[in-house]
Amino acid sequence: MLEVIGVKSLDDLFPTIPDDSKINQELDLPEALTEWELNDHMDQLAAKMATGPGVKTYLGAGSYDHYVPASVPFVLSRSEFVTSYTPYQPEMSQGTLQAIYEYQTMSCALMGTDVSTASHYDGATAMAEGLLIAVRKSRKNKVAISAAIHPFYRQVIHTYFEPTGFELVELPYLPDGRTDLTGLAGIEDLGAVGVQSPNFFGCIEDLGAAAEATHDKKAFFVAGFSEALAYGLLKSPGSQGADLVAGEGQSLGVSRSFGGPYLGMLGATKKLMRILPGRLVGRAKDMDGKDGFVLTLSAREQHIRREKATSNICTNVGLCAVQAAMYMASIGKAGIKELARLNHDKAEYLKRKLTTAGAAVPFSSPTFNEFVVQLPSGKEAAYQRLLDKNIVLGLPLEKFYPELSRCYLVCVTETKTKDDLDALTKELLS
């Protein structure tokens, strides 16, 4: 092979790599293990992890611990779904296309939108894409986003917008934890507004008021979310006037997996569907009048010519989207509603327990399944004491919001029992 391509050695294939960046010696690797030895080694490593079965974690903040029906991983493991084949040729990929179509249909019902894409990399990129669509469509130059949007999502949004020439403005949050929309009136040339609900503090925003204030400025309203299950209980963003809805679908049956891959969801009104990035699957009729599924409403340039594309994203996280579709189909509409109610009620129970025991809840707005709690003065060491007992209270917020010292974002899902919540309260404030 080297002779055919005209080089003398493998090293000649890498002349562009500087010599001081190459390893010029054998790698210092341990001896190979047998399969049994390797299994034992992995078990020993796993025993050292901080997330074993004996650990109780109350972390949320965009990654949520939910039960997944056994039917989901079982069906998902079928080789037809696991394949990474891109479904450009519909005659070869009806199963994949139909699975994505079902995902889109159920996503639209959950988000309250006319159309949904076949998914994106994660909630942060989906929201950034939604805001880009909105500001381009408006032909204006300013975008306002809430300071109560997930900090990582805001970082991604800033990264997306930095080279575009559009100006980003951040809206502060009010003492009750919701977004202060009063500043919108004074922003000229406003093309888009982004608000997350439930927001990063877990507070439920008034999306109807946000949509009205945005539309009064002749701008597009983008509603974000990091906890998709919230809309099993709350009114969908689309029903409250959102032009685009974007967020994270990890809660819909996707494993936390230490941070990914996750599921970016993006939906819109019908008038915006032709400029949505990525893939859309539609249902059509073949020559015999039978139903068939095809990629539709998307120029081929979206996938092969970067300079002509709506976005640099065309690949959907197909397996995660199909996983979410299986999850939603498994528990059904009534199940999603019941599960959302269970999450809300358990979080409210813990909130009452903590406040009764002396902790403070700084934000008065209603919440879904996570909320901010402030430890009493002198109890700062309690967080580490809980860690030592394999209990993770929540996410310390001071790093992201310096004004929220001694504050933690606490999440409760259906995976926590009453005994778990009572034990947390007792340990925290003892």
In terms of domains, do 133 and 81 share one? yes
What's the pLDDT at 50?
61
- Final residue in a domain of this structure, among 328, 363, 380: 328
Residue 148 lies in a domain: yes
Q: Specify burial of residue 216 (Cβ count, 10 A radius: 0-12, 13-18, 19+).
A: exposed
- Find the CATH number of the domain harbouring 379: 3.90.1150.10
Long-range (24+ apart) CB contacts under 8 A made by 40-49 are none
**Cβ–Cβ < 8 Å for 172, 215:** no
Handedness of CA 418, 420, 421, 427 (dihedral sign): positive
Together in a domain, 305 and 396: no
Strands 115-116 and 264-268, bridge-based pairing:
antiparallel
Predicted local distance difference test score (pLDDT) of residue 299: 58
Question: Do 235 and 369 reside in the same domain of the chain?
Answer: no
pLDDT the model gives residue 182: 96
Q: Are residues 114 and 60 in the same domain?
A: no
Is 49 inside a domain boundary?
no
> C-alpha angle with apex 293: 292 to 295, nearest 5 degrees?
145
CB atoms within 10 A of CB 180: 15
User: How far is residue 342's CA from residue 336's CA, in Å, rounded to a whole number?
Assistant: 10
| Chain-centroid distance, C-alpha 131 | 15
Q: Which of 175, 170, 245, 183 is nearest to 214 (CA)?
A: 183
In a domain, 36, yes or no: no
Q: Does residue 409 sit in the same domain as residue 305?
A: no
Indicate the SS3 state at residue 57.
strand
Q: Do 256 and 413 contact (CB within 8 A), yes or no?
A: no
Per-residue pLDDT tens, the chain, 430 aa: give them: 999 999 999 989 998 999 889 888 888 899 999 999 999 999 888 877 766 557 889 999 999 999 999 999 999 998 888 876 677 777 778 888 999 999 999 999 999 999 999 999 999 999 999 999 999 999 999 999 999 999 999 999 999 999 999 999 999 999 999 999 999 999 999 999 999 999 999 999 999 999 999 999 999 999 999 999 999 999 999 999 999 999 999 999 999 988 889 999 999 999 998 888 888 899 999 889 999 998 887 655 555 666 666 666 666 788 999 999 999 999 999 999 999 999 999 999 999 999 988 889 999 999 999 999 998 877 778 888 888 888 899 999 999 999 999 999 999 999 999 999 998 998 887 7
β-strand partners of 281: 295
Cis bond before residue 198 (omega within 30° of 0): yes
On whether residue 87 sits in a domain, the answer given is yes
The pLDDT of residue 379: 73
Pairing type for strands 56-57 and 391-392 reads parallel
Count of the separate structural domains present in the chain = 2
Domain termination site, one of 312, 328, 344: 328
How far is it, in rounded angstroms, from Cα 71 to Cα 383? 37
DSSP state of 274: G
Name the β-bridge partners of 410.
Answer: 371
The three-point CA angle 86-307-167 to 5° equals 110
Q: Which domain holds residue 373?
A: 56-69+332-428
Can you say whether the dihedral through the CA atoms of 156, 159, 164, 166 is positive or negative? positive
Q: Which residues contact 262 (CB under 8 A, 6 or more apart)?
A: 63, 121, 122, 123, 248, 249, 250, 254, 317, 320
Q: What is the pLDDT of residue 312?
A: 61
268 in the same domain as 174: yes
Residues 187 and 169 in one domain: yes
Nearest to 298 by CA among 82, 87, 65: 87
Residue type, 204: I
87 lies in the same domain as 63: no
**Number of continuous H segments (helices) and E segments (strands) in the chain:** 12, 14
Stated pTM of the model: 0.87
CA–centroid distance for 59 within its chain:
15
Distance, C-alpha 370 to centroid of its chain: 15
- pLDDT for position 250: 97
Domain for residue 33, yes or no?
no
In-domain check, residue 184: yes
3-state secondary structure 360-379: ECCCCCCECCEEEEECCCCC
Tokens of 263: 């599921």
Q: How many residues does the chain have?
A: 430
